[in-house]
A and B are shown apart, each in its own frame.
Chain A
């Protein structure tokens, strides 16, 4: 088999065919800015610079995924709160400086933002500058479309939100419903603007992890809104969704399986679980029809030497390489923004050495 380009490699995986080697998605976001000598905050505050950093990093390292925009605290700004961009020491992503919901009354009065040309809410306006560049280069437009539970947990004061799981379930459902309506508007807008086959919604978040929420809580408060959004995605004719159940979500896996089953969806999920979920468990749950990503422990890329990083990637490749519907080497969450470039090289080198199919 000849050497494929990144686009050919990803296309082969998405079509259920064997590429020349395992593709690499380093889930590198803030990291890319060090490649182009720009501050980390620019990744989130300036869509054009964000695209430039990711595009250059992708070209420099030769990995196989194109630029995207998103962050764990997406939602609060769009729903009327305030955020700060990560320009300070130790910062990694935008953080909430004022929650939109601090009382039950706030939740009742919360308004769902509309998505209109020239007037996109919050960070979606910044993101769309990046999306236009992606569209220009025929790359997928990867926009944030969830998770509703995680976004809601930062739209509201997080401690209050978690107490509402038990004390104010009706208010919580009202809030979740409004936040999911915002994501429905985003799905409809971007599918319409760029075409359903050109977009790839990105759904995921850490607040529903089982270190925080019980599977029963997931079933009651996260699952229904995931179903609502994924039905919207299917109705719009979108064919691929990037899923990132962040951190330990092992007890939620049965619900993720149900999302497809209940919709009878024929599209493809790309699953990027945290390092807490064994690759084999992912293959067992989703491998028959979906693409599985690796989940190398992200902090290791920051704290361990190159050789150990290669070994971790090798192990990950060996676990997932023969997943029936394809495998992509990836860390289990964002590549550390402060990791040195040789650690990303470790991913690429491991894919070249241990991820070839011929």
Chain B
């Protein structure tokens, strides 16, 4: 293993361990060693978060661990992102408007999806929580969104998602819609006309990527 590969692996491991200081330090070391910052992000940070995602799916890691991994990843990204070449900084998988459905303030799940989409290379537009259908639609139009991602934890807020989908259709916007959250199921997503459903943050990214390829 070359020193470059070793360094990227250390960065990946520091993300998994949720070690913020070590991540920032290793990101600095990567720049000093002349490693391309885009490669450091993809083969260090991104790889680390992929492993974290896998461990969450296997119930080997849980939300507290993921939150620390996210902090660690962002500590590295803060160092690396300013050094990206212009074309790489602008190289995005797609633009996602993400938020929690109206009436709902539960945003931990939304924030996990946001973080995983971010590291997967999406341009993120976070509209927050308790977001009205009009706000979702207006923002999607404003940023020419490729995707709108919505979450809901309550049976009362899940019904607000359909209003967003109808609003997007009415405006003829291109954005595809992905939904998730505890009361949501694939059948409910189909019923309200969503393009995709993610049962958790990991699957949400998978579904988003699939929708972008289509």
Question: Do A and B share a complex?
Answer: yes
Interface residues of A (CB under 8 A from B): 30, 40, 86, 88-93, 95-96, 158-159, 162-163, 165-167, 210-214, 217, 247, 251, 298-299, 302-303, 336-339
In the complex, the answer to whether A90 meets B157 with C-beta atoms within 8 Å is: yes
- CB pair A91–B67 under 8 Å, yes or no, is no
A90 touching B155, Cβ below 8 Å: no
- Which residues of B151-175 have CB atoms within 8 Å of chain A's CB atoms? 154-160
Q: How far is the CA of A290 from the CA of B52 in the complex (A)?
A: 39
Tell me if A's interface is mostly helix, strand, loop or mixed: loop
Residues of chain A contacted by B130 (CB below 8 angstroms): 88, 90
Q: Which residue of A lies closest to B62 (CB)?
A: A214
Residues A92 and B105 in contact, CB atoms below 8 Å apart: no
Among B64, B158, B187, chain A packs the most CB atoms within 10 A around the CB of: B64
Q: Indicate which residue in A158, A247, A339 contacts B155 across the interface (CB closer than 8 Å).
A: A339
Known: A166-B64, A338-B159. A251 touches B183 (CB 8 A): no
Say whether B108 contacts A159, CB under 8 Å. yes
Per-residue contact bits, chain B 92-134, to A (CB 8 Å; 1 contact, 0 not): 0000000001111100100100000000000000000010100
Q: Are B155 and A337 in contact (CB under 8 A)?
A: yes
* CB proximity of B184 to chain A, nearest CB, Å: 8
Residues of chain B within 8 A of A96, CB atoms compared: 105
Report B's interface with A, CB cutoff 8 A. Answer: 18, 59, 62-65, 67-68, 71, 101-105, 108, 111, 130, 132, 154-160, 182-185, 187-188, 191, 200
* B62 pairs with A90, CB closer than 8 A: no
Q: Which residues of A contact B108 (CB under 8 A)?
A: 158-159, 162, 212
- Provide a sorted-by-A list of 13 A–B residue pairs whose CB atoms are within 8 angstroms: A40-B156, A89-B102, A90-B101, A90-B154, A91-B156, A159-B67, A166-B18, A166-B65, A210-B62, A212-B108, A213-B64, A298-B155, A299-B188
In the bound complex, residues from chain B placing their C-beta under 8 Å from that of A159 are 67, 108, 111
- The residue that A162 contacts in the complex, of B63, B154, B157, with Cβ under 8 A, is B63
Q: Which residues of A contact B67 (CB under 8 A)?
A: 159, 162-163
Q: Which of B62, B64, B157, B191 contacts A303 (CB 8 A)?
A: B191
Nearest-CB residue, chain B, relative to A338: B156
Whether the Cβ atoms of B59 and A210 lie closer than 8 Å is yes
Residue among A40, A214, A217 with the highest chain B CB neighbour number at 10 A: A214
**Choice from A40, A213, A299 contacting B63 with Cβ under 8 Å:** A213
CB distance A251 to B104 under 8 Å? no
| Residues of chain A contacted by B185 (CB below 8 angstroms) | 299
Please indicate the chain A residues that have their CB under 8 angstroms from the CB of B71 in the complex.
Answer: 163
B189: min CB distance to chain A, Å: 11
Most buried by B among A89, A90, A337, A338: A90
- Please name the 3 residue pairs, one residue from A and one from B, whose CB atoms are nearest each other, closest first: A90-B103, A336-B155, A92-B156
A166 to B72, CA, bound (A): 14
Question: Shortest distance in angstroms between A67's beta carbon and chain B's nearest beta carbon?
Answer: 20
Of the candidates A166, A217, A298, A299, the one having the most CB atoms from chain B within 10 angstroms of its own CB is A299
* Nearest residue, chain A, Cβ from B71: A163
**CA of A128 to CA of B102, assembled, Å:** 31
